[in-house]
Chain A
């Protein structure tokens, strides 16, 4: 599943190239014939297509249109662009975001690629534990990681600085989380799992034959790895770089916590400022445009770089795979993996749990500082917390179901070529992937908050927003699952007189059950912690944990914050573990099929 993420839709490899003109014409004629019949299946499919236009196309169009409109009259104007880019501070925010994106994607590559290689290709010990650590980093929301790192590396009060001052007798700490470096680190340690998953699943497919060839010709392990193995999985690595770049420039929570005290703005925090009074949705839309342009540019660049070369060893066909014996170096690799694990999981989690169970986190680890009151406060004294926790998991679950049903239907239409231009559908499904959450939320707000739909403050707008946001993940999983199933099986049903629905219900769904359950968890986890798009769409009764954490963080009440974070993490992990038990495999770290 992961391999497809770096190609927008499945049309990159298969569909476009092998469709000759004649085949397309024939296909079109067939479609026309089918359209005349217009059976119930077709109607349902058309409904799905309408839904997609509603979810993806309209909000983006509204965003672009409103960026060109006068606030009150709706007349065409370029003033929003002038206002959005006419200020030096706004331009600085843009430059800061670029720096952040580049920094994060480089650091992520340094973290993820060596570990992925060690886990997939070598005899490094403790692999199961390392995978578990990566999983833990995956479920940790970036803003929670940021809070952990504020407790660790606050310039005067952070644990690391306190330890440093105690050891050296220095009067000042050496780490300062309130800096660009701090922000880059915090985002990198929570987003490296994406690159890890891409790279390791690609490495899992590379057979040892090519490495053997290099070895026979005299190359050592290091040279072989750098010259043969890693270049073969370059598409995966570049995919990872792009994703972490986009993730970094689109995040809202971690920058809001760190960049403000550090005295700089990034695009997402600047976008938030446009929503301060007076609300300037149109200016926000104009300011969001570079994010869209950058994203499109990155994917175009990726195609240019990867387009003409062959990476055919990644065929999925067998070939023997042996683990490289590293000798004593295997311990070095393990140590490296553990250092990354410490930065991303062990240290932040340690201080978060400490804060969650303490009266005042600054007082440190002692029994008289221990309390359950933070949890008691949340669950019994706070009027909102219980509802908020419930909302979070209900919305995430519904989102996961909605995203998967929709994407499965569309993947089916695309894969079986039931309508002309089906690739457009695939593209629309993948498009939200390149739209930062904040931008998507602004589009949704502009399109659906006001009458006639008047969805502001309803659960519906949140679920719709989340569904759109995570549609690409659901779609890649569904498409990958579908491609592994030969249509002949359904055709057998149809030849024997069964309807398409029957074929889908009795053949397709049972075959896909496991990969759909895996996809469900893959959507569910990010949906439980989504902040960027939620922040503009929540109302007082539809708050989710991430937004509540953000509101609580204004006062810097880290004990209660940490307790709420612990509740979020434990519940998410519990659901993921139950899900994994049900589908009987590791949903995230192995390939589908």
Chain B
């Protein structure tokens, strides 16, 4: 009953390798490490090899794939992957800070305002990964002081269910969502949960003012929590249009055979820049540093691309059939706008949509 999945195949393959020419393969992996990496790896093993990663930067499937890749690159280390929406992850981390009991080692959010706030309050540990100089120029130097770094990027467009909506009828730009013909048929995430949705809503407010949402509310959209929930709603046939459609999740789901298509709006696709940082006082500082290196490595970018997200490394090219951020017109708010704007957005959203 199993389809042979690429991942299982690779897993099985590497198991064979380890079983057969195991020592040699491991030795090779070890030699390809830089001395800095090796030192971190040895130190991480001494911290009982455990690591906890809170991430909102992808769906659970991609996050788990990244976690497993880290584990197979650095045998003996184990990473606990906790995927939630950005605001839930932030809620947990602030609860931990308040209780002075830091459980998380690496914190990856999609709301860059979180990183700004955590740095400002001294909750991030400074660490400049070697790999941070090797990423694409557009993702470099978001924090010149070295407390957080961009570890992933993604795009938000409009998704639709191809069995219910013809290509010609699908929305072409953001304001097409306000057409009354989409009454009851649009799925959205929630900015109080999803960092992607928060940044998307802020971009919309920048472009069209808050009236955009007051009009959108008249179309009675279905509001979930995570931005990925919109894709589920399309697959289930509950909604026909993903008003905030995450490119990665959408295209991966389409590749699996679901009747989905992606529109890159003519007035601009929303680009999300998502940062990660190490928690100050975390239990596994060396493992956390190694993990930061990993997140900015070529290997991690390959996994991101396999799951239809952006690559942050120049060596890795965009997924086949998907557009990369440099191929389309993108729009995004500044870091200052996000830091100040998302709390306002959440408030306005609650007033307009009632939840």
Q: Residues of A with Cβ closer than 8 Å to B?
A: 89, 154-157, 178, 259-261, 263-265, 273, 275-279, 281, 360-362, 370-373, 376-377, 381-384, 387, 445, 449-451, 454, 456-457, 536, 539-541, 543, 551-558, 560
Mark out the residues of chain B between 80 and 101 whose CB falls within 8 Å of any chain A CB in the assembled complex: 80-85, 87-88, 90-91, 94-96, 98-101
| Separation of A306 and B64 alpha carbons in the complex (Å) | 57
Q: Decide: A279 and B64 in contact? CB cutoff 8 A.
A: no
| Separation of A445 and B98 alpha carbons in the complex (Å) | 10
**Per-position binary interface string of chain B over residues 326-355, scored 1 when its CB falls under 8 Å from any chain A CB and 0 otherwise:** 000000000000000000000000100111
CB within 8 A of B84: which of A362, A454, A551? A551
Residues of A contacting B59 in the complex (Cβ-Cβ under 8 angstroms): 555, 557
Q: Decide: B52 and A541 in contact? CB cutoff 8 A.
A: yes
Q: Residues of B with Cβ closer than 8 Å to A?
A: 1-3, 7, 52, 54, 59-61, 64, 67-68, 78-85, 87-88, 90-91, 94-96, 98-101, 103-104, 184, 190, 192-193, 222-226, 228-229, 232-233, 235-239, 258, 350, 353-355
Residues of A contacting B88 in the complex (Cβ-Cβ under 8 angstroms): 551, 554
Shortest Cβ gap from A475 to chain B (Å): 30
- Interface SS, A side: loop
Q: Decide: A261 and B95 in contact? CB cutoff 8 A.
A: no
* Sample of 10 A–B contacts (CB below 8 Å): A275-B91, A275-B95, A376-B2, A381-B7, A456-B101, A541-B103, A551-B83, A552-B60, A554-B85, A557-B60
- Interface SS, B side: mixed
Residues of B contacting A381 in the complex (Cβ-Cβ under 8 angstroms): 7, 64, 68
Shortest Cβ gap from B227 to chain A (Å): 9
- Look across to chain B and name the residue whose beta carbon is closest to the beta carbon of A88: B351
Residues of B contacting A445 in the complex (Cβ-Cβ under 8 angstroms): 95, 99
Shortest beta-carbon contacts, A-B, top 6 = A556-B232, A456-B99, A449-B99, A556-B229, A456-B101, A157-B238
Q: Decide: A555 and B223 in contact? CB cutoff 8 A.
A: no
Q: Decide: A555 and B7 in contact? CB cutoff 8 A.
A: no
Q: Decide: A555 and B54 in contact? CB cutoff 8 A.
A: no
Q: Decide: A554 and B226 in contact? CB cutoff 8 A.
A: yes
Known: A263-B353, A558-B232. A370 touches B94 (CB 8 A): no
CB within 8 A of A89: which of B79, B104, B350? B350
Known: A260-B223, A261-B223, A264-B354. A554 touches B99 (CB 8 A): no
Q: Decide: B67 and A383 in contact? CB cutoff 8 A.
A: yes
- Look across to chain A and name the residue whose beta carbon is closest to the beta carbon of B85: A554
Residues of A contacting B228 in the complex (Cβ-Cβ under 8 angstroms): 554-557
Residues of B contacting A382 in the complex (Cβ-Cβ under 8 angstroms): 60, 64
Q: Decide: A276 and B100 in contact? CB cutoff 8 A.
A: no
Residues of B contacting A275 in the complex (Cβ-Cβ under 8 angstroms): 91, 95
| Separation of A230 and B83 alpha carbons in the complex (Å) | 51
| Separation of A157 and B350 alpha carbons in the complex (Å) | 26
Q: Decide: B82 and A540 in contact? CB cutoff 8 A.
A: yes
Q: Decide: B54 and A540 in contact? CB cutoff 8 A.
A: yes
| Separation of A281 and B67 alpha carbons in the complex (Å) | 33
Sample of 15 more A-B contacts, CB < 8 Å, known A156-B238, A279-B91, A540-B80: A154-B236, A157-B238, A263-B353, A264-B354, A277-B87, A360-B235, A361-B236, A381-B64, A450-B99, A456-B95, A539-B101, A539-B103, A554-B88, A556-B224, A557-B228
